[in-house]
Amino acid sequence: MVGPWRGSAIPPARLRSPGIHRGGTACDLLNSPLRHDLSRTVMIHRIAFAAALAACTAAGSASAATFKWASASDIPTWDVHSQNNALGNGVHAAVYESLFYYNSRTFALEPMLATGSNQVSPTQVRVTLRPNVKFHDGAAFNADDVVFSLNRAMAKTSNYGVYTQGIDRVVKVDDLTVDIFTKAPNPVLLRQLTELRMMDRDWSEKNKSVEPKDAKTKDENFAHRNANGTGPYVLKSWEQDVKLVLAKNPNWWGKMDGNVTEVVYTPIKSEATRVAALLSGEVDMVLDPSPADLPRLRNASNLKVLDGAENRTIFFGMDQFRDELPGSNIKGKNPLKDVKVRRALYQAIDVQAIAKTTMRGLAQPTGTLIAPQVNGWTKKADVRWPYDVEAAKKLLADAGYAQGFEVDFACPNNRYINDEEICQAVSAMWAKIGVKAKLRTLPLTTYFPMIQRYEASIYMLGWGVPTFDALYSLQSLVRSLGAQGDGNYNVGRYSNPQMDALIERIKKEVDQKNRNDLIEQALLLSHQDVSHIPLHNQVIPWAVKKNIDMVHRADNRIEMRLVKVN
């Protein structure tokens, strides 16, 4: 049994008392006059009590509604400072909250657990906190939790250093005020804080989860499978790769615009099975329907498809670090270190064919690493090297590989729209220039730890931008490996001192025009170096029952408190 009651004597649904008839449930206990005595004498986790209360409140409400949804993969963890994964971040946001967050309809930055901020000096931001906020176990949220959470996100085992970049220290002023000191002026600090969720310091210390789970290993802490946030929903249960259940938090401080009292998420890898579950009514919504199924879904009388461009760019990265590639027939050197080889691989890919045939229109071909919604994007930077098979062959020959070579090629098979199919198509395109890609595909939960251990020669990655600012992408993807998020997903280990210098200037530049000019220079340098091979920006369709009202977001997240089941 997993979930917030793990480690307690018995799950809340099976609590028994001498004053309750045999077969009674936690709801009977919660409505019993004995509940106050039992809560002191029965060894039950406080979060389990909250989850049981939430479930019983839902059961007794005339407007109670369950929202069931599915997508291809599961979240990797419940530790909110462990693995920086977009699906996980979106699900976490229903249970854990950050100081600031984006309005789902306008994407304006709004206070969440904060009530506001004040720039005391160029390197000091004072944040005031929302009073009377409780964690799911009943503990009060205060400045100690903010200091703890931000320091936890800066730990070595955290994958969230890109969001803490520039932070020097966090200081408690009083119970509802903290000062964040930065090493230099940081023009995007508040945007970074949107992905840094608050944990209860005492709960973390009690449950030996002071340090985040290391995403590169299989080691687990208590926070990996258990949750204690301040958000509108409580983690009721999670059986990884099977089912996740959330229950409405009856003590949430905010306003619930929707009517969902229970959320059930089911990861379903098979595209056909996901669509069948939607058509049969087994689920209410599919986050990632297959492009091939969209015409049928659009024509279904009881369904609707919500479309929108995502701020996510799909690309390939290449190992530019090793002196020899594991599994390659080229010994003693690494072909991918040569820019001619990288450009040859780039120019051998027909992105228009992929967009039309593989993606069926759910792709916007791109020549850069950020989408148009992201600050810093320009038309000048968004230019591709042309598709040209003969030019690609010549580049390979000029680099000394006229006969091509063999290379490892790793891709996920349940993370991005048609990810495996894209990689199969590209493998065939590379074969035309003599490059024999040894394609291997893995599920999300094993794929990302693998590439972060630098175990892939060529790999696929899709990069969304939660801050909606190019620094997030540049720092993560093309900055040399360093502290506070530098190069945290530069798993091909591309390195150029000129790029590093540009990124360091972007971090500190407060003049918007100068800063955007620097961003453009960095994007153009990435293009010239062929640091990566950009493919396209995803267009994301959500397939949903017509009786469901929800807000489609450019970051592909479901704002659960806005979902309404009619």
Q: Please indicate whether residue 315 or residue 40 has the higher confidence score (pLDDT).
A: 315
Q: Is the pLDDT of residue 45 over 60?
A: no
The half-sphere exposure of 173 on its side-chain side, counting CA atoms within 13 A, is: 12
Query: For 130-147, what is the mean pLDDT?
Result: 98
Q: Is the pLDDT of residue 97 over 70?
A: yes
Name the phi and psi angles at 3, rounded to 5: 130, -175
CA distances from 520 to 152, 498, 509, 525 (A): 33, 13, 14, 9
Q: Is the pLDDT of residue 200 over 60?
A: yes
Which secondary-structure segment (H or E) carries 36?
helix 35-41
Query: Residue 374: CB partners within 8 Å, gap ≥ 6?
Result: 311, 465, 468, 469, 470, 473
pLDDT classification of 4: cutoffs 50, 70, 90? very low
What does the alpha-carbon distance between residue 153 and residue 141 come to, in Å, rounded to a whole number? 17
CA distances from 441 to 329, 413, 423, 543 (A): 21, 6, 9, 26
Residue with tokens 């918007």: 512
CA distances from 116 to 83, 125, 463 (A): 28, 10, 29
- Tokens of residue 137, six digits: 């176990």
Q: Which of 169, 166, 171, 170 is nearest to 184 (CA)?
A: 166
Q: Is the pLDDT of residue 29 over 90?
A: no
pLDDT classification of 110: cutoffs 50, 70, 90? very high
pLDDT value, residue 51: 53
Mean pLDDT of the chain: 89
pLDDT value, residue 444: 86
The burial of 219, by beta-carbon neighbours within 10 Å (0-12 exposed, 13-18 middle, 19 or more buried), is given as: exposed
pLDDT value, residue 63: 67
Task: Return the beta strands (E) in 413-566 as ranges.
Answer: 435-442, 458-464, 532-545, 548-549, 564-565
Q: Is the pLDDT of residue 58 over 60?
A: no
Pairing of strands 114-121, 124-129: antiparallel
Q: Is the pLDDT of residue 2 over 60?
A: no
| pLDDT tens string 368-398 | 999 999 999 999 999 999 999 999 999 999 9
Residue 214, by phi and psi: left (phi above 0), alpha (psi -120 to 50) or beta? beta
Share of the chain above pLDDT 70, in %: 89
| pLDDT tens string 236-245 | 999 999 999 9
Which secondary-structure segment (H or E) carries 172?
strand 167-174
Q: Please indicate whether residue 9 or residue 35 has the higher confidence score (pLDDT).
A: 35
What does the alpha-carbon distance between residue 381 and residue 31 come to, in Å, rounded to a whole number? 63
The distance of Cα 310 from the centroid of its chain, to the nearest Å, equals 13
The half-sphere exposure of 315 on its side-chain side, counting CA atoms within 13 A, is: 29
Share of the chain above pLDDT 90, in %: 83
Q: Is the pLDDT of residue 16 over 90?
A: no
| pLDDT tens string 489-547 | 999 999 999 999 999 999 999 999 999 999 999 999 999 999 999 999 999 999 999 99
What does the alpha-carbon distance between residue 69 and residue 64 come to, in Å, rounded to a whole number? 17
pLDDT value, residue 46: 53
| pLDDT tens string 414-445 | 889 999 999 999 999 999 999 999 999 999 88
Query: Residue 313: CB partners within 8 Å, gap ≥ 6?
Result: 366, 368, 369, 370, 371, 462, 463, 473, 534, 535, 536, 537, 538
DSSP state of 178: E
Pairing of strands 363-365, 303-318: unpaired
Name the phi and psi angles at 460, rounded to 5: -95, 140
DSSP state of 78: S
pLDDT value, residue 398: 97
What does the alpha-carbon distance between residue 1 and residue 65 come to, in Å, rounded to a whole number? 25
CA distances from 556 to 86, 315, 356, 545 (A): 8, 18, 22, 18
What does the alpha-carbon distance between residue 85 and residue 76 come to, in Å, rounded to a whole number? 8
pLDDT classification of 52: cutoffs 50, 70, 90? low
Q: 28-42, 109-123, 292-306: which range is least confident on average?
A: 28-42
Three-state helix/strand/coil letters over 451-468: HHCCCCCEEEEEEECCCC
Q: Is the pLDDT of residue 32 over 50?
A: no
Q: Is the pLDDT of residue 300 over 60?
A: yes
What does the alpha-carbon distance between residue 286 and residue 267 come to, in Å, rounded to a whole number? 10
Could you report how far apart the first and last alpha carbons of the chain are, in Å? 33
pLDDT classification of 483: cutoffs 50, 70, 90? confident
Query: For 109-137, what is the mean pLDDT?
Result: 97
| Cβ-contact 155, 211 below 8 angstroms | yes
What angle (nearest 5°) sits at the alpha carbon of residue 141, between those of residues 2 and 84? 55
Q: Is the pLDDT of residue 25 over 80?
A: no
What does the alpha-carbon distance between residue 549 and residue 523 come to, in Å, rounded to a whole number? 38
CA distances from 420 to 64, 325, 332, 417 (A): 39, 22, 30, 9
pLDDT value, residue 30: 41
| pLDDT tens string 253-296 | 999 999 999 999 999 999 999 999 999 999 999 999 988 899 99
What does the alpha-carbon distance between residue 47 and residue 110 come to, in Å, rounded to a whole number? 28
pLDDT classification of 216: cutoffs 50, 70, 90? confident
| pLDDT tens string 142-181 | 999 999 999 999 999 999 999 999 999 999 999 999 999 9
CA distances from 48 to 54, 96, 232, 554 (A): 10, 16, 15, 34
Q: Please indicate whether residue 18 or residue 154 has the higher confidence score (pLDDT).
A: 154
| Cβ-contact 456, 408 below 8 angstroms | yes
Question: 3-state class of 139 per DSSP?
Answer: coil
What is the reported pTM? 0.77
Q: Is the pLDDT of residue 31 over 90?
A: no
What does the alpha-carbon distance between residue 497 and residue 499 come to, in Å, rounded to a whole number? 5
Residue with tokens 């920086």: 84
Query: For 469-480, what is the mean pLDDT?
Result: 96
What does the alpha-carbon distance between residue 483 and residue 459 come to, in Å, rounded to a whole number? 23
pLDDT classification of 485: cutoffs 50, 70, 90? confident
Query: Residue 221: CB partners within 8 Å, gap ≥ 6?
Result: 79, 207, 208, 209, 211, 212, 213
pLDDT value, residue 503: 96
